[in-house]
Amino acid sequence: MEPGRDAVESVVLPGFHDSHLHLRAAAAARLSVDLSAVSTVPALLESLRTGAGDLEGRWIRGWGWDESTLQERRAPTVAEIDSVTASRPCALHHRTGKLVILNSAARRVLARSAQTPVPLDEVVRADAAFLRDMPRQPEGTLESALADLSRELAAAGVTSVTDATATNTWDDIQHLRDWVRRGVVRQRVNALVAFDQVSSTGGLRGDSASDDGVRVLGAKVAAPADGIAERVRHVRGCGWPVAIHATEPDEIEAALTAISECGPPAWGRDRIEHLGLPLPGHLERIRDAGIAVTTNPAFLSERGQKYRESLSPVEQDWLYPVRSVLAHGIPLAAASDRPVTAATPLSTMADAVHRRPRSGEGEPLSRHERVAPDEALALVTDRAQVDGPALDRGRGRGAAWPDLHLSADLVVLSEDPRLLSEECEVLGTFVGGRAIWGGEDPAE
């Protein structure tokens, strides 16, 4: 089918894939005080004060603060947070997922139980070892939020995801497998494990698919630039591939240097997550090393003003490249990075094509990195064939689907997604031929 033709009522594609998100964190964000829409520090504190009442008996958790969106252009202080949380432990998670602020009560609790000292810094890295002692959301409550998240992903046509959480333990992987087995998570799941978990696998080959559809793709490395090499060496010593969080130029340089020095993995493929600001010459090195890349077009539409304020015009030209990555022949996929954004595959396509705020206001960021709708579609599913047979929209649930598709992962859309129409709807989502979404939600 050619874009623009309306001779068919629906379009069938291979299912959409979100190549980088955080399932547990996205579910937990739904159980936290939402701070993503506040615009001042006093408003943030008031949201925290009022929202904490719904979290009685539990740690107070806030999610989504970002100093770049606050008028004061700073994080709230521990003293300010203490003033509205009193003696209850509180943790505020940055919208990027990279930083956490703990109030005084939380610091006292963790200081008593942590294996490593609690740093004096008011803002700490989210992957700090002592934070693993912070209690998690109750499993039953988290599971309910996770089921809602999976339902939302299914409604967006997502049939598979990759959980790229840097702190995943083997217990976390087992939880993922259990959630998939019991249908809490409807999608197929790939995952990464924390770099320090690789030596504890007991000979498990991460690239071996398990019966429940969960597969471990490699080890996640998320560290300051000067800590990347050591972690990569540890992972590569076990023969494993790495997925390195690398947004800033120094992180990308450190990632490429470490991979070059360590040689290729024994199995799988190395990845760079985000690739926010590569310098000239980085793409050639990524290509030559056989590294894959995940990118985040939604960052451009949601953070455009922040980038314009904080980056020079030259840096803005290098920001989150897409067309250049494809031109170098580098394997590339797009991702939402949930809960950092709530992007869907269809909105991700539009963001990759337009590279401007979704409001339509403002000039595109690095206009030369825009891609055609065909290329944008390939970013959200590497198997998409929009020329495939269309299904009759009038067929309801339980109708006979063509035998060709009975065992496939599919998404059924109301029109060709390459038209980038806001009216495009997901009519059905199927994993292995089983409906996980379809109007009235057949999984209910």
Residue 314 identity: V
DSSP letter, residue 418: G
- Cis preceding-peptide flag for 138 (omega within 30 of 0): no
| Residue-wise DSSP of 78-93 | HHHHHHHHTTS-EEEE
Instruction: Read off the pLDDT of residues 274-318 as tens digits, 9 standing for 90 and up.
Output: 999 999 999 999 999 999 999 999 999 988 888 888 899 999 999
- List pLDDT tens digits, range 220-237: 999 999 999 999 999 999
Residue 387 confidence (pLDDT): 34
Report pLDDT for 206.
54
Mind listing the pLDDT tens digit for each residue in 1-20?
344 344 457 899 999 999 99
In the numeric block, which tokens belong to residue 330?
A: 């580098």
Contact 225, 186 (CB under 8 A): no
DSSP 133: G
Q: What is the pLDDT of residue 404?
A: 37
Residues 6+ apart with CB under 8 A from 63: 28, 29, 32, 33, 34, 35, 36, 92, 93, 95, 339
Check residue 159 and give its pLDDT.
94
Nearest to 44 by CA among 63, 24, 16, 22: 63
**Options 3.20.20.140, 3.40.50.300, 3.40.30.10, 2.60.40.10; CATH of 139-380:** 3.20.20.140
| pLDDT confidence of residue 133 | 82
- 182: CB partners within 8 A, 6+ apart: none
Alpha helix (H) ranges present in 52-202?
Answer: 78-85, 104-113, 139-155, 170-181
Residue numbers in the chain where pLDDT is lower than 70: 1-8, 54-57, 114-116, 200-213, 359-361, 382-407, 439-444
Alpha-carbon span 273 to 256, nearest angstrom: 12
Q: Which residues contact 175 (CB under 8 A, 6 or more apart)?
A: none
- The ranges of the chain annotated as CATH 3.10.310.70 are 32-133
Query: Which residues are CB-contacts of 134 (< 8 A; sequence separation ≥ 6)?
Result: 59, 91, 106, 110
CA distance 4 to 143: 42
User: How many helical (H) and strand (E) elements, i.e. helices and strands, does the chain have?
Assistant: 15, 17
The architecture (CATH level 2) of 32-133 comes to Roll (3.10)
Q: Specify the pLDDT at position 212.
A: 54
Quick: pLDDT tens for 412-427: 999 999 999 999 999 9
The predicted structure's pLDDT at residue 58: 75
Q: Which of 189, 158, 152 is nearest to 172 (CA)?
A: 189
> What integer pLDDT is reported at residue 114 of this predicted model?
66
Q: What is the pTM of this model?
A: 0.86
Amino acid identity at 292: A
The answer to whether 371 and 352 have CB atoms below 8 angstroms apart is yes
User: Could you tell me where in the chain the CATH 3.20.20.140 domains are found?
Assistant: 139-380
* Contact assessment for residue 70 and residue 100, using Cβ atoms and an 8 Å cutoff: no
Residue 213's pLDDT is: 60
Predicted local distance difference test score (pLDDT) of residue 402: 39
For 193, the enclosing helix (H) or strand (E) is: strand 188-194
